[in-house]
């Protein structure tokens, strides 16, 4: 068997190259098992349709007016919900033999996780695209133009990528993928609903209003709304970027540490 | 580092690992000379996989030390990882990728350029007779093909030490002998192999040295010849026409040849090791036993004479059956 005697590369792939290889792995998985995108497709469509037609009339007097308010919110909401699956996927991956091989390879150790999170950006973009496409079909008009929409999507995806580190931490702490998903939803439902996604906080009682206005999701949604409406979003956008930085600073090292210590 | 240690691919001393109350590995010593095949033989739950996972830097030992080519698995893991490759018990290929994508991915991780990784993957697919299945997802491959793919992924860059955790468990005989051929080729190319197995014949076919482990400890080790002579040259199994005669048959066997007689789960069956050192004497004893039973009017419906099974090796070494349910019979 001559194949056994091939010339070996000088050194293993570096951190960037290894991470990108694992990112490619995530994208190949989407290609081969597209049904795993069910959640990515289902959540955005469901939220946008359900809330517009169910509450639109009651909240804003007409579904059309409500859609103008809601769509940037469901854009953020849908993408933020999809981030839970970063933790679910990692938790599932850890039990496979493939991960044993990855962990025994001479590459930068966190590469499989970093790569998977890079690959997840593809899922976020897909979820964002679906919400926007559906919104435009339903009559949403972005006064901020193409650039405003692109900046809003960019900001939402940046925040989502930072938040996904919190789920990978959870993915390493909990035992089963189902546990990660359940806890993820239990956390995200109140956090996303007590915000300005669906209604303006000034209709809420004072204490709840304070919570909703301090909620990072509210900052994200306000920034996305301003960008898509074509109004200045500088202050809110900076808050979002700051929150994203804090999330990464806390949860990326925590994930890495837990992953390194995992047996 | 002494010269002697440098010749060892693996040198483990007092390696131990507990999971809660269970002492999965309870003080294992293991020396594997560079360039050899060592088989770790033992039943399910003996600590085989835990041992391999410690040596492959996936688990931290609770106690003891292990050196892989002189590098400590606990303190110098990166150096160990550069020299090893792992084929886990549950196929270590990515099930949602095709055979080719799996190999290209591992090739890229080893540092091949995209083009070189593809060439290398295609060469290996041909070499392992997987080229026809290159585009199939790993989940759609047969057990034997998956194992070959798994091993191919382990040797994209020739490792100095290859771990194979139960490489043929669950494979049909043809796939099994294909895997054996691959392993022999790999060793011929200079790689040291540590494989675990539940099958004595696998250890027998492949290994230069065998370590028998049970309850997380090495209970015997040596070359296959050493191990077999410790157990007895051969064994017999017989099945009686009338199960009620089993106690009498057992007494006869015990008196005439050996204390190593054991009852089987099957109420009509008995097994025994033959103590004789050489084959001719063993054959002779087997014939005598059969004669003696006939003289006492005990009818035998089945009689096999051959190499000891793992269960018999175990019984001889520990006085305990590998299958707990049989002990209580």
| For the ranges A215-224, B206-215, B294-303, the one whose mean pLDDT is highest | A215-224
Q: What is the maximum alpha-carbon separation in chain B?
A: 75
Contact A32 B98 (CB under 8 A): yes
Model pLDDT, residue A98? 87
pLDDT grade for B117, boundaries at 50, 70 and 90:
very high
Sheet holding B37-41, edge to edge: B84-87, B161-165, B192-197, B37-41, B209-214, B217-222
Distant-in-sequence, close-in-space partners of A80: CB < 8 Å, separation ≥ 6: A156, A159, A160, A163, A188, A192, A217, A220
Any chain A CB within 8 A of the CB of B137?
yes
The dihedral over CA atoms of A94, A95, A101, A105, expressed in degrees to the nearest 10, equals 20
Q: Are residues B77 and B180 in the same domain?
A: yes
The tens digit of pLDDT for each residue in B96-106 reads 999 999 999 99
Higher-scoring residue by pLDDT: B285, B135: B135
Residues of chain A with C-beta less than 8 angstroms from the C-beta of B68: none
Q: Are residues B133 and B221 in the same domain?
A: yes
φ and ψ at residue B236, rounded to 5 degrees:
-125, 150
Question: Which residues face A155 on adjacent strands?
Answer: none
8 Å CB contact between B153 and B147 = no
Give the burial string for A150-167 (b: 16+ CB within 10 Å, else e).
ebbbebbbbbbbbbbbbb
Model pLDDT, residue B97? 95
Contact B109 A11 (CB under 8 A): no
pLDDT averaged over every residue in chain B = 86
Q: Out of A4-13, A98-107, B58-67, pick the least confident.
A: A4-13
Q: Are residues B146 and B217 in the same domain?
A: yes
Q: Are residues B62 and B207 in the same domain?
A: yes
Model pLDDT, residue B328? 31
The tens digit of pLDDT for each residue in A51-83 reads 899 988 888 888 888 999 999 999 999 999 999
Any chain A CB within 8 A of the CB of B97?
yes
Q: What percent of chain A has pLDDT over 90?
A: 68
CA distance B30 to B209: 11
Closest CA in chain B for residue A14: B111
Q: Are residues B181 and B323 in the same domain?
A: no
Distant-in-sequence, close-in-space partners of A144: CB < 8 Å, separation ≥ 6: A151, A152, A226, A227, A228, A229, A230, A231
CA distance A156 to B172: 52
Contact B82 A12 (CB under 8 A): yes
* pLDDT over threshold 60, residue B326: no
Q: What's B69's domain CATH number? A: 3.40.50.300
Using alpha carbons, select from B328, B250, B230, B233 the residue that is nearest to residue B292.
B250
Provide the shortest C-alpha distance from residue A43 to chain B (in Å). Answer: 24
Residues of chain A with C-beta less than 8 angstroms from the C-beta of B20: none
Instruction: Say what angle helices A234-261 and A145-173 make with each other, to 10 degrees.
Output: 30
**Structure tokens, A132:** 């926007």
Model pLDDT, residue B3? 41
Provide ipTM, 2 decimals. 0.87
**Structure tokens, A125:** 């973009």
The neighbour count for residue B247, using CB atoms within 10 Å, is: 11
Domain ranges of chain A: 37-261
Coil, helix or strand at residue B25: strand
Cite the DSSP H helix spans in B26-89. Answer: 48-55, 77-81
Coil, helix or strand at residue B17: strand
Model pLDDT, residue B223? 84
Among B residues 306-325, those touching chain A with beta carbons less than 8 Å apart: none
Any chain B CB within 8 A of the CB of A106?
yes
Model pLDDT, residue A41? 79
CA distance B21 to B27: 15
Count CA atoms within 13 Å of residue B299 on its CB side: 5
Rg (CA), chain A: 20
Model pLDDT, residue B319? 66
Q: Are residues B142 and B68 in the same domain?
A: yes
* pLDDT over threshold 80, residue B19: yes
Q: What percent of chain B has pLDDT over 90?
A: 47
Q: How many distinct structural domains can be found in chain B?
A: 2
Question: How many residues does this entry show for chain A?
Answer: 263
Q: Are residues B67 and B34 in the same domain?
A: yes
* pLDDT over threshold 60, residue A263: yes
8 Å CB contact between B303 and B268 = no
* pLDDT over threshold 50, residue B189: yes
Model pLDDT, residue A13? 94
User: If you average pLDDT over residues B152-170, what whole number do you get?
Assistant: 92
* pLDDT over threshold 50, residue B2: no
* pLDDT over threshold 60, residue B329: no
Model pLDDT, residue B324? 41
Distant-in-sequence, close-in-space partners of A146: CB < 8 Å, separation ≥ 6: none
* pLDDT over threshold 70, residue B308: no
Model pLDDT, residue B267? 85
* pLDDT over threshold 80, residue B72: yes
The residue range of the domain holding B206 is 3-228
* pLDDT over threshold 80, residue A135: yes
Which helix (H) or strand (E) segment holds residue A257: the answer is helix A234-261
Model pLDDT, residue A43? 80
Q: Are residues B259 and B306 in the same domain?
A: yes
User: If you average pLDDT over residues B221-246, what whole number do you get?
Assistant: 79
The tens digit of pLDDT for each residue in A138-161 reads 999 999 999 999 999 999 999 999
pLDDT averaged over every residue in chain A = 91
Model pLDDT, residue B21? 87
Q: Are residues B201 and B242 in the same domain?
A: no
Q: What string of DSSP letters covers B219-265?
A: EEEE-HHHHHHHH-SEEEEEEES-GGGHHHHHHHHHHHT-S-EEE-S
The neighbour count for residue B213, using CB atoms within 10 Å, is: 23
> Looking at the partner chain, which of A8, A102, A104 has a beta carbon nearest the beta carbon of B157?
A8
Model pLDDT, residue A180? 94
Closest CA in chain B for residue A29: B96
Residues of chain B with C-beta less than 8 angstroms from the C-beta of A33: 96
The neighbour count for residue A61, using CB atoms within 10 Å, is: 10
Using alpha carbons, select from B329, B281, B323 the residue that is nearest to residue B305.
B281
Single residue among B184, B209, B228 that ends a domain in this structure: B228
Model pLDDT, residue B232? 62
Q: Are residues B211 and B242 in the same domain?
A: no
Q: Are residues B85 and B214 in the same domain?
A: yes
Cα B110–Cα B116–Cα B117 angle in degrees, nearest 5: 50
Q: Are residues B48 and B173 in the same domain?
A: yes
In angstroms, how far is the first alpha carbon of chain B from the final one?
51
Residues of chain A with C-beta less than 8 angstroms from the C-beta of B96: 28-29, 32-33
Sheet holding B269-274, edge to edge: B261-263, B269-274, B234-240, B300-306
Residues of chain A with C-beta less than 8 angstroms from the C-beta of B104: none
8 Å CB contact between B65 and B74 = yes
Any chain A CB within 8 A of the CB of B120?
yes
Using alpha carbons, select from A215, A48, A225 the residue that is nearest to residue A131.
A48
pLDDT grade for A2, boundaries at 50, 70 and 90:
low
Any chain B CB within 8 A of the CB of A1?
yes
């Amino acid at each position: 068997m001559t194949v056994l005697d091939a010339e070996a590369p000088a050194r293993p792939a570096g951190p960037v190259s290894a991470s990108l290889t694992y990112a490619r792995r995530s994208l190949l998985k989407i290609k081969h098992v597209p049904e795993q995108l069910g959640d990515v497709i289902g959540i955005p469509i469901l939220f946008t349709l359900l809330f517009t037609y169910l509450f639109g009339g009651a909240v804003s007097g007409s579904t059309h007016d409500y859609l103008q308010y809601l769509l940037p919110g469901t854009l953020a909401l849908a993408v933020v919900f999809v981030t839970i699956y970063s933790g679910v996927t990692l938790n599932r991956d850890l039990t496979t033999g493939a991960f044993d091989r990855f962990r025994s390879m001479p590459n930068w150790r966190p590469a499989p996780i970093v790569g998977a999170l890079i690959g997840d950006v593809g899922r976020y973009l897909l979820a964002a695209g679906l919400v926007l496409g559906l919104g435009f079909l339903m009559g949403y008009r972005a006064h901020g133009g193409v650039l405003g929409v692109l900046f809003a999507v960019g900001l939402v995806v940046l925040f989502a990528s930072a938040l996904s580190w919190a789920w990978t931490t959870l993915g390493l702490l909990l035992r089963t993928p189902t546990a990660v998903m359940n806890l993820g939803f239990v956390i995200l439902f109140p956090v996303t609903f007590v915000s300005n996604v669906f209604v303006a906080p000034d209709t809420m009682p004072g204490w709840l209003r304070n919570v909703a206005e301090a909620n990072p999701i509210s900052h994200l949604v306000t920034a996305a709304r301003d960008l898509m409406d074509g109004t200045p979003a500088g202050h809110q956008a900076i808050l979002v970027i700051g929150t994203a930085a804090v999330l990464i600073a806390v949860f990326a090292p925590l994930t890495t540490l837990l992953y390194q210590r995992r047996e | 580092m002494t010269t002697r240690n440098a010749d060892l691919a693996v040198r483990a001393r007092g390696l131990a690992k507990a999971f809660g109350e269970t002492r999965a590995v309870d003080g294992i010593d293991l020396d594997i000379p560079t360039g050899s095949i060592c088989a770790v033989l033992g039943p399910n739950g003996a600590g085989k996989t835990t041992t391999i996972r410690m040596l492959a830097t996936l688990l931290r030992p609770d106690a003891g030390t292990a050196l892989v080519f002189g590098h400590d698995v606990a303190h110098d893991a990166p150096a160990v990882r550069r020299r090893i490759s792992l084929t886990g018990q549950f196929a270590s290929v990515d099930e949602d990728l095709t055979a080719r994508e799996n190999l290209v991915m591992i090739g890229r991780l080893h540092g091949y350029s995209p083009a070189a990784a593809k060439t290398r993957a295609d060469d290996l697919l041909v070499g392992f007779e997987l080229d026809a299945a290159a585009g199939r997802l790993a989940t759609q491959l047969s057990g034997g093909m998956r194992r070959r793919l798994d091993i191919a992924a382990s040797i994209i860059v020739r490792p100095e030490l290859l771990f194979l955790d139960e490489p043929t468990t669950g494979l049909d005989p043809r796939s099994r002998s294909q895997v054996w051929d691959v392993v022999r080729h790999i060793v011929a190319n200079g790689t040291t192999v540590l494989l675990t197995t539940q099958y004595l014949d696998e250890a027998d076919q492949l290994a230069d040295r065998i370590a028998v482990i049970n309850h997380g400890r090495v209970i015997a080790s040596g070359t296959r010849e050493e191990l077999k002579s410790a157990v007895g040259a051969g064994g017999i199994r017989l099945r009686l026409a009338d199960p009620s005669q089993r106690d009498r048959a057992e007494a006869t066997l015990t008196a005439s040849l050996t204390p190593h007689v054991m009852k089987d789960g099957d109420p009509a069956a008995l097994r025994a090791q033959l103590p004789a050192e050489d084959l001719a004497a063993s054959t002779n004893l087997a014939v005598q036993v059969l004669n003696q039973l006939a003289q006492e009017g005990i009818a035998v419906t089945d009689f096999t004479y051959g190499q000891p099974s793992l269960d018999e090796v175990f019984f001889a070494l520990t006085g305990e059956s590998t299958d707990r349910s049989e002990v209580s019979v």
